[in-house]
Amino acid sequence: MLKMLLLSVMLLTGCDTVPSGYVGVKVNLLGSEKGVDVQELGTGRYWIGFNEKLYTFPVFQQNQVWTRDKNEGSPNDDSVTFNTSEGLSVNTDIGLTYSIDPKKVSTIFQKYRKGIDEITSIYMRSMVRDALVTEASSRTMVDIYGKGKFEFISAVQQRVLAQTAELGFVVEKVYLIGELRLPPSVTASINAKIEATQKTSQRENEVAQSRAEADKKLAEAVGIASSQLTIAKANSEAINLEGDALRNNPLVLELRKIEKWDGSVPQVVGSSTPFISLSK
């Protein structure tokens, strides 16, 4: 009889393991002490009684995506829909990267009484969705779809951080996956506006380029004209200086005539005076 009792106790108890990268939480199922053991259990093997159950939580980085694609994430449509300040509906796929503070595993289990997969798919998704809805409600479609997209998702992440930090979740990143899905009419309108803006920018660039080329040609012409004027002024000043010098020194002119004379006497002598003065 005693042996049967001991065998029954052994069958109702045993060892359980907390794997590497996990933290265990031991739960008392019956009696006045039922509930969660406040002590987190690290990696190792633990004796679990017939009145106890061990839950394990991963404390390494988790990455969860909620998409419309049935081949990514869950087979359901987990994408999130929200409205802008104009009331326009936007659908998007979104991702979350987070981990759990090992020291707050018991606190998380006591609050949610769920495993990590259920906590992520139900509660974390709700927090992210609510943050998206709240932040989008004060922004226009242009703000969210255009250059304000980064600011928008950063604000969503900060809002999720504020909700989860005290609970023991360490949120590292909230991010959009792919393009925002908008109503076709809105997409066409935004694309038309973007195209018009691009064309305007292109025309402005072309005008600026033409103006730059014209300014370059004008600068070249001004430079050539300035150079020619400088040369002309220099030549004029040189002629004036030479004329003044010859007037002030008439013998210089005679000297130049002599330098150019080849020594031949003119064959025809008229009444004109020789080109060289023979006076002493």
Please report, for the chain, the start and end positions of each structural domain, with discontinuous segments joined by +: 13-58, 62-182, 184-257
The answer, yes or no, to whether residue 31 has pLDDT greater than 60, is: no
Q: Give the pLDDT mean for 57-86.
A: 89
What percent of the chain stands above pLDDT 70? 79
Per-residue model confidence as pLDDT tens digits over 66-77: 999 888 878 888
Rounded Cα–Cα distance for residues 65 and 47 (Å): 36
3-state secondary structure of 44: strand
pLDDT at 7: 45
3-state secondary structure of 181: strand
pLDDT band at 95 (very low <50, low <70, confident <90, very high): very high
CB of 61 closer than 8 Å to CB of 98:
yes
pLDDT band at 13 (very low <50, low <70, confident <90, very high): low
Q: Is the pTM of this model over 0.75?
A: no
The answer, yes or no, to whether residue 65 has pLDDT greater than 80, is: yes
Question: What HEC string does 55-82 produce?
Answer: EEEECCCEEEEECCCCCCCCCCCCCEEE
Rounded Cα–Cα distance for residues 94 and 156 (Å): 11
Q: Give the pLDDT mean for 199-222.
A: 82
Strands (DSSP E) contained in the chain are: 14-18, 22-28, 35-41, 44-48, 52-58, 62-66, 80-83, 89-100, 169-181
| Listed residue (93, 88, 95) closest to 187, CA to CA | 88
Return the CATH class of domain 62-182.
alpha beta
pLDDT at 126: 93
Number of H-type helices and E-type strands within the chain: 8, 9
The answer, yes or no, to whether residue 97 has pLDDT greater than 80, is: yes
The answer, yes or no, to whether residue 240 has pLDDT greater than 80, is: no
pLDDT higher at 42 or 3: 42
